[in-house]
Every structure is written in C-alpha cells, then in structure tokens.
C-alpha cells in the first residue's frame, strides 16, 4: 500500500478487530499486516498504549505449555471505536470527493 498509516487509523483498526473477538498478539499482527502492512514492532507499542488508555485489557491463556496474552476491548474501547468509525466515514467521504472526482478542479 502506498499510504502511511497514522496512529489514529491504526488504533481504529485494532479496536475494530477486537470488537469481533479477543485475539492474541500474533493473530492481530497477521490480520493487520494483511490489510495495512504493519509489523509486529509497530503493533506492540500501539497495544501497550491502548491498554494504558483503558481501551483494552489483557488476560493470559495457556496453549501448548506456553501462555498467550489475549487482548480484549473494554467498554471505553467500544465507545472509542464508534467515535473512530464516525470520524472515518466523514474523512473517507471527504477524501473520496477529492481523489475520486475524476480530475480535480
């Protein structure tokens, strides 16, 4: 993808994925890498910040003798995801007016 992914968009995508179901870091990384091309080193600081801000919580679950850290969205995170969704629609529509108008002014 030829566009930089800003922090707000990355936050919105992480929260949206976690609204569907809890996930551990590797699954989140793979999901976002497929769509946005982000790396693990990009994602983990985002998860840490979202947790610090109260949008996510974590829990550990044993899997084949190791613990996996799962991320789950909080009520506050759900509210923030809805704000991001609303803002995204406005942003997307405005960019579409510029980029998809067929030649500009």
pLDDT, tens digit (0-9, with 9 covering 90-100), for 47-75: 999 999 999 999 999 999 999 999 999 99
Report pTM. Answer: 0.86
What one-character DSSP code corresponds to residue 70?
E
SS3 52: helix
User: What integer pLDDT is reported at residue 37 of this predicted model?
Assistant: 87
- Give the 3-state secondary structure of residue 62: strand
> Where along the chain do its domains lie?
7-99
Q: What is the pLDDT of residues 8-32, one digit of tens each?
A: 999 999 999 999 999 998 999 999 9
The class of domain 7-99 in CATH terms is mainly alpha
The tokens of 21 are what? 């179901």
CA nearest to 20, candidates 72, 85, 57, 75: 72
């Amino acid at each position: 993808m030829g566009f930089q992914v800003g922090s707000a968009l990355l936050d919105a995508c992480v929260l949206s994925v976690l609204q569907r179901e809890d996930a551990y870091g590797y699954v989140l990384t793979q999901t976002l890498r497929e769509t946005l091309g982000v790396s693990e080193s990009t994602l983990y600081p985002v998860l840490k910040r979202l947790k610090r801000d109260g949008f996510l919580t974590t829990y550990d679950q044993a899997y084949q003798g190791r613990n996996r850290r799962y991320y789950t969205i909080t009520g506050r995170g759900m509210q923030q995801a809805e704000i991001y969704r609303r803002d995204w629609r406005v942003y997307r529509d405005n960019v579409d007016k510029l980029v998809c108008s067929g030649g500009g002014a």
